[in-house]
Chain A
């Protein structure tokens, strides 16, 4: 499989009155074509900043992002049109990402007019609605006439309208009920097959992640702590932080309980990004902390089997 997106030494620092916030600090990973790459982490770990950097909403402080081999780092306004067509995003809260004054038709029309001027608009809109399993008469409704799940399906249809090859999903189901979540995920999986899409799936729901992603990376305070194939990640979590996260997930059956690492109990909180601890940023919460952790930040080490961990234990 070819690499579609590559992040190299990506950094994003924000200057504030109280100091520098290292929101994304030296992040490296690549996403292969037609895969679902999961990015997990607690709030404040920098997941959304990574998404915004890829979208071009922020300019990186240093490092580069390559899309299909080409470097892209310009601000959104200056991006070439083809690139905007290629990369689309679905946001967490559909209630705030859809314009309440516009009808579904108007919402879907704009990206089609701009990026695919040659296609018949009416028919394309109906096709899009069908693709996301919504009746075509929804085209003339306003977002507030739709349920939360339906709104998110419209947001997905809008992302799909430009015929992208890469979609960023920033917590697409966290604002929804579990009963609706399944529907959204299944639509996403279906259109991925159909259009050969690649997803960067950002979520903090690890159970969901284990069901959809091919590879998973875990972020903590702007850094990748562990990256592995999904089976490996859940069967053999190496980093103490991953183990802590896994042991904290509430599950609904005994079989799942057995899959969770037992020994680590969640302690402490994620510190603010203004005062990131020296050395390994996780050391104040880590149960296996050693002296070296307090001074030296571990590099992402390859343990074989496409499993990368940033921890002094290995």
Chain B
């Protein structure tokens, strides 16, 4: 699967930042990632590591103070950063969709689900649909999202639905336009474990059935482990390690990945690890070399001033750390 033809999405050396009052935040630094057709990848890291920013760049929904300095986002060979707004809209209507973290915030509280769902379907369809067609489509998508009584759901306001149901509605809505790529930004984080489990199983069965590729963002490592084929680990706006899920979880190479994994409390364990000392660096003035250098227990002199490249540490498994040079 290393053939270029099989790549649905390819982010190449993306570098971007935000202009703020204090100066310029160098957030994303040289991020590259690949997504093959029908593949599920996960993006993990602490909060504030640039996971969502990267996805927003792909969707073209960055806030106005963002500055893209370089890099390419190739979607089926087309650079999304270069095409016009109209063409981007077309791709968003037909191919890509994104699910956000908090379902309560993603739905408009003053409109019934019916109106929001109809709007989305009408907006995304190429030809004019009759009201019955729109209705039938929305029922179909709600059923795909495993919602019982879709008619009742359509007639409800968001506050009348539980968190799990709202997230299912969002998933149903995203299916309208996600024919090829679905970006799920922490879809289960704000839900209870039992509901999160249901939502993740639903997502998995949908993407497997329809052959949709998915990028799952999460800081819940366990969720990612069950769900995806490959994992990218992100720290302070850089990709520090990527590889097959099994490899990353059983044989983490980058110190950050290893520390992050060991911070997770284990079922049946008897103690809690110390966690990772320190915090994610300030983006106004990030460390010059490896961005993890301020917190790394194994740092060397070279880490201070030189940025590590991706070194191969196993089959399809790469880590950006000088220890593997």
Name A's B-contacting residues (CB within 8 A): 42-43, 147, 149, 177-183, 185-186, 189, 204-208, 210-212, 234, 244-245, 247-256, 259-260, 266-267, 269-270
CB-CB under 8 A from A207, the residues of chain B are 222, 264-267, 269
Quick one: which of A149, A210, A267 has the most chain B CB within 10 A? A210
- CB of B274 within 8 A of CB of A183, answer yes
- CB of A179 within 8 A of CB of B249, answer no
**Bound Cα distance A211, B269 (Å):** 5
Beyond A210-B265, A211-B270, A250-B223, is A245–B194 a contact (Cβ under 8 Å)? Answer: yes
- CB of B225 within 8 A of CB of A251, answer yes
Give the contact stretch, choosing among B5-13, B137-145, B195-203: B195-203
- CB of B279 within 8 A of CB of A248, answer no
Contact of A251 among B164, B195, B267 (CB under 8 A): B267
CB-CB under 8 A from B268, the residues of chain A are 210, 234, 255-256, 259
Beyond A178-B263, A179-B46, is A266–B273 a contact (Cβ under 8 Å)? Answer: no
Beyond A177-B47, A210-B265, is A248–B272 a contact (Cβ under 8 Å)? Answer: no
Task: Name which residue of chain B comes closest to A264, CB basis.
Answer: B194
Contact of B265 among A43, A147, A189, A208 (CB under 8 A): A208
CB-CB under 8 A from B222, the residues of chain A are 207, 249-252
- CB of A208 within 8 A of CB of B260, answer no
Task: Name which residue of chain A comes closest to B199, CB basis.
Answer: A266
Q: Mark B244-263, 1 if CB is under 8 A from A, else 0.
A: 00000110000000011101
Determine if B1 is an interface residue (Cβ-Cβ < 8 Å).
no
Task: Name which residue of chain B comes closest to A148, CB basis.
Answer: B47
CB-CB under 8 A from A259, the residues of chain B are 267-268
- CB of B263 within 8 A of CB of A181, answer yes
Q: How far is the CB of B259 from chain A (nearest CB, A)?
A: 7
- CB of A182 within 8 A of CB of B275, answer yes
Name B's A-contacting residues (CB within 8 A): 46-47, 162-165, 192-198, 219-223, 225-226, 249-250, 259-261, 263-277, 279
CB-CB under 8 A from B193, the residues of chain A are 42, 204, 206, 245, 248-250
Contact of B272 among A43, A182, A254, A260 (CB under 8 A): A182
**Bound Cα distance A24, B274 (Å):** 35
Q: How far is the CB of B97 from chain A (nearest CB, A)?
A: 24
CB-CB under 8 A from B265, the residues of chain A are 181-182, 185, 205, 207-208, 210-211
- CB of B192 within 8 A of CB of A43, answer yes
Contact of B275 among A183, A205, A256, A266 (CB under 8 A): A183
Q: How far is the CB of B160 from chain A (nearest CB, A)?
A: 11
- CB of B272 within 8 A of CB of A250, answer no
**Bound Cα distance A208, B144 (Å):** 34
Contact of B267 among A244, A260, A266 (CB under 8 A): A260
- CB of B194 within 8 A of CB of A186, answer no
Task: Name which residue of chain A comes closest to B256, CB basis.
Answer: A179
**Bound Cα distance A259, B222 (Å):** 14
Q: How far is the CB of B281 from chain A (nearest CB, A)?
A: 12
Q: How far is the CB of A22 from chain B (nearest CB, A)?
A: 18
Enumerate 12 A-B pairs (CB-CB under 8 Å) in ascending A order: A43-B192, A179-B275, A182-B274, A205-B265, A207-B265, A249-B222, A250-B220, A250-B221, A251-B266, A253-B266, A256-B268, A269-B162
**Bound Cα distance A254, B251 (Å):** 12
Contact of A210 among B263, B267, B273, B279 (CB under 8 A): B267
Q: How far is the CB of A179 from chain B (nearest CB, A)?
A: 4
CB-CB under 8 A from A254, the residues of chain B are 250
- CB of B219 within 8 A of CB of A177, answer yes
Task: Name which residue of chain B comes closest to A146, CB basis.
Answer: B279
Quick one: which of A181, A206, A234 has the most chain B CB within 10 A? A181
- CB of B249 within 8 A of CB of A253, answer yes
Quick one: which of A234, A245, A251, A267 has the most chain B CB within 10 A? A251
CB-CB under 8 A from B196, the residues of chain A are 248, 250
**Bound Cα distance A180, B225 (Å):** 21
Q: How far is the CB of A108 from chain B (nearest CB, A)?
A: 22
Task: Name which residue of chain A comes closest to B223, CB basis.
Answer: A250
- CB of B267 within 8 A of CB of A267, answer no
CB-CB under 8 A from B225, the residues of chain A are 250-252
Q: How far is the CB of A175 from chain B (nearest CB, A)?
A: 10
**Bound Cα distance A93, B197 (Å):** 24
CB-CB under 8 A from B270, the residues of chain A are 211
Q: How far is the CB of A195 from chain B (nearest CB, A)?
A: 19
**Bound Cα distance A254, B245 (Å):** 12
- CB of A178 within 8 A of CB of B219, answer yes
Q: How far is the CB of B177 from chain A (nearest CB, A)?
A: 27
Q: How far is the CB of B308 from chain A (nearest CB, A)?
A: 20
CB-CB under 8 A from B249, the residues of chain A are 252-253
- CB of B263 within 8 A of CB of A182, answer yes
- CB of B271 within 8 A of CB of A211, answer yes
CB-CB under 8 A from A269, the residues of chain B are 162, 164-165, 195
- CB of A177 within 8 A of CB of B46, answer yes
CB-CB under 8 A from A181, the residues of chain B are 263, 265, 272, 275
Task: Name which residue of chain B comes closest to A270, CB basis.
Answer: B192
**Bound Cα distance A255, B196 (Å):** 22
**Bound Cα distance A120, B193 (Å):** 46
Q: How far is the CB of A233 from chain B (nearest CB, A)?
A: 11
